[in-house]
Amino acid sequence: MKTKIINAPDLHKAASRQKGETLFKSASILHKQESQSLLNGKKYYIRTYGCQANVRDEETMRGLLEDIGMWQIDKPEEADVIIINTCAVRENAEDKVYGEVGNLKILRKKNKKLVLAICGCMVEQPEILERLMKTFPEINLFFGTHEIDQLYDLLYQTLTSEERIVSIESKAGEVIEGLPSARNNHYKAYVDIIYGCNKFCTYCIVPYTRGKERSRHFSDIIKECQNLIDMGYQEITLLGQNVNAYGKDLDEGKDFADLLEAVAKLGIPRLRFTTSHPWDFSSKMIDIIAKYPNICKFIHLPVQSGNDEILKIMGRRYTREQYLNLVKEMRAKIPGLSLSTDIIVGFPNETEEQFNDTVSLVDIVKYEAAYTFIYSPRKGTPAARMEDNVSYDEKVRRFKILVQHLEKNIEKHSESLVGKVVDILVDGPSKTDPNMLSGYTDENKLVHFPGDSSLIGTITKVKIISSHTYSMMGELYRG
Ligand code: SAH
Ligand code: SF4
Ligand code: F3S
């Protein structure tokens, strides 16, 4: 099969952060009618890996596909269009995609008309794209994170030509408004507020795959949130790789604290946000979180390491002391605050002593939740070019020690909730026991409890009766 390359990724271009205004565009409808006549009534299967940015992109793609009359199914064997929306943040995220495409490729042999598409962050890396193209000649469409709005045109081109289509433009990125959206959940919604990332932490591929930091207009975000409230949504999560940077690239005179306050005032029962970089988390933000009862008392504040030298080489822009002071201010001003974090173990040449600084920081902060990762070199990032004298086995050993420290506190915190009555936004039947319901507390703890399915989508009072490390059991409170 011949390949038609409309655009190919280029890490150098992806890293460029030229000053200049962000282009605000409305959605492209090129070849919408044509793809509708080819795909109306047909079925699609979509699988998303990675962070909430990808989940939100999936909702946009589903919106586009459903707008032309396509149906979502969960059996790829019956699909006319298969989309695998990938993540590149660590090697294991990529391995899952190789495994899945390996299983799906046979479907293309059986059905020559099938569109087998790969999109998302993996294909933004030239070497990965090349490997995918070589390994899987069955994939007939590749598109990047900046091409989602062109989905109709790309599907039309794939279906009407004998060539495989590659459209991945490495660029700073635009803000595209007016795209349809089929949200995955009817009670909880993600709302993008800022795209991309300018931080360039030395280990991270995200700034290369997602383009520059660019904020949506304040009024567009407020409009979207108001619509969600009108539709009965109970929870909104404001999304960005670094939400604190919101507004800095616009001259609307609004920052993230202003946005948070304005959305809280709209009256959504629960308001969350993710992710916050410790570097520009302002006191004004802390005050707003403390002031509004509907802003969840839960902050995800990735620390990555507790050692100043490592933080510096990571390019994180804060010291251990600055981080700890920020935590102190948060805990003092926001009663009942739950803190979670991300930590990378085994950054290149991390010494035992430097690792112990991370362990001691964890013991001081006493996180209520945490995600720990073993460092994974990402081609094209500065850290991947560093020599590394720490063996993988040693990284695994440290990882286990760190998890033990984290879990000790997480368990203690969960135990302290036993006997308390908490508000749960009920998600649905529990994944492990369909006779139970499950949902999350304001501070993001998972709770399972017996109850009627009519409670799904409501905020319900539940008494905690027992705790495990990562979840709790409860019963309906009828006090
Ligand atoms: N923008 C967010 C999330 C980025 S990715 C933030 O800055 O917090 C989510 C997490 O993945 C990061 O916080 C980091 O802990 C981890 N991560 C990123 N690159 C990694 C790498 N190369 N190896 C291991 N973990 C990584
Ligand atoms: Fe990656 Fe750092 Fe940006 Fe987060 S802030 S996405 S870790 S570069
Ligand atoms: Fe993964 Fe891309 Fe998100 S690399 S973590 S899906 S921004």
Residue 173: per-residue pLDDT: 84
Residue 19 pLDDT exceeds 80 = no
Taking 3-state DSSP, the helix, strand and coil percentages for the chain, each rounded to the nearest 5, stand at 40, 25, 35
- Ramachandran bin of 419, using left for φ above 0, alpha for ψ from -120 to 50, beta for the remaining angles: left
* pLDDT of res. 102: 93
Q: How confident is the model at residue 462 (pLDDT cuts 50, 70, 90)?
A: very high
The two three-digit tokens of residue 263, written as one number = 């959305």
Instruction: Determine which residue's CA is closest to atom 5 belonging to ligand 2.
Output: 199
Using CA atoms, how far apart are residues 458 and 455, in angstroms rounded to an integer?
6
Tell me the pLDDT tens digit for each residue of 301-337: 999 999 999 999 999 999 999 999 999 999 999 999 9
pLDDT at residue 457 is higher than 80? yes
Tell me the torsion sign for CA atoms 301, 306, 311, 314.
Answer: negative
Q: Please provide the DSSP assignment of 101-135 as one string.
A: HHHHHHHHHH-TT-EEEEEESGGGSHHHHHHHHHH
Q: Does ligand 1 have an atom closer than 6 angstroms to the CB of 151?
A: no
Closest Cα to residue 124, out of 63, 54, 181, 176? 54
- pLDDT given at position 435: 86
Give the mean model confidence (pLDDT) for residues 43-52. 97
Q: Whose CA is nearest to atom 7 of ligand 3?
A: 206
Please say if the pLDDT value at position 26 is more than 90: no
CA of 49 to the centre of ligand 3 (A): 8
Centre a 10 Å sphere on the Cβ of residue 453 and count the other Cβ atoms it contains: 10
The pTM (predicted TM-score) of the whole model is 0.96
Residue closest by Cα to atom 24 of ligand 1: 375
Task: For residues 89-95, give the mean pLDDT.
Answer: 94
CA 296, chain centre distance (Å):
18
- Please give the pLDDT value at position 24: 87
Provide the angle, in degrees to the nearest 10, between the axes of the packed helices 256-266 and 283-291. 10
Q: In whole angstroms, give the CA distance from residue 251 to residue 254.
A: 8
For 95, other C-beta atoms within 10 Å of its C-beta total 10
Reported as a single tens digit per residue, the pLDDT across 395-407 is 999 999 999 999 9
Q: Which helix (H) or strand (E) holds 61?
A: helix 52-67
The model's pLDDT over 117-173, given as tens digits with 9 standing for 90+, comes to: 999 999 999 999 999 999 999 999 999 999 999 999 999 999 999 899 999 999 888
CA–CA–CA angle 454, 457, 461 (5° rounding): 80
pLDDT per position as a tens digit, 398-454? 999 999 999 999 999 999 999 999 999 999 998 888 889 999 999 999 999 999 999
Predicted local distance difference test score (pLDDT) of residue 10: 92
Could you give the CA distance from residue 409 to residue 469 in angstroms, rounded to a whole number?
9
User: 344 CB less than 6 Å from ligand 1?
Assistant: yes
Q: Give the closest residue (by CA) to ligand 1 atom 11.
A: 89
**Cα 204 to averaged position of ligand 1 atoms, centre (Å):** 6
Ligand 2 pocket, mutate which of 200, 343, 371 (most atoms under 8 A from CB): 200
Q: What one-character DSSP code corresponds to residue 28?
A: P
pLDDT one-digit tens code per residue, 188-218: 999 999 999 999 999 999 999 999 999 999 9
Q: Return the ligand number nearest the Cα of 399.
A: 1
Centroid of ligand 2 to alpha carbon of 141 (angstroms): 28
Number of CB atoms found within 10 A of residue 145's CB: 24
Q: Among 15-19, 95-99, 245-249, 270-274, which is the least confidently predicted range?
A: 15-19
Contacts of 423 (CB under 8 A, 6+ apart): 441, 442, 459, 460, 461, 462
Provide the percentage of residues in the chain whose pLDDT is more than 90: 92
Give the pLDDT score at 21.
Answer: 78
Q: Is the distance from CB of 469 to CB of 411 less than 8 angstroms?
A: yes
SS (H, E, C) 179-222: CCCCCCCCCEEEEECEECCCCCCCCCCHHHHHCCCEECCHHHHH
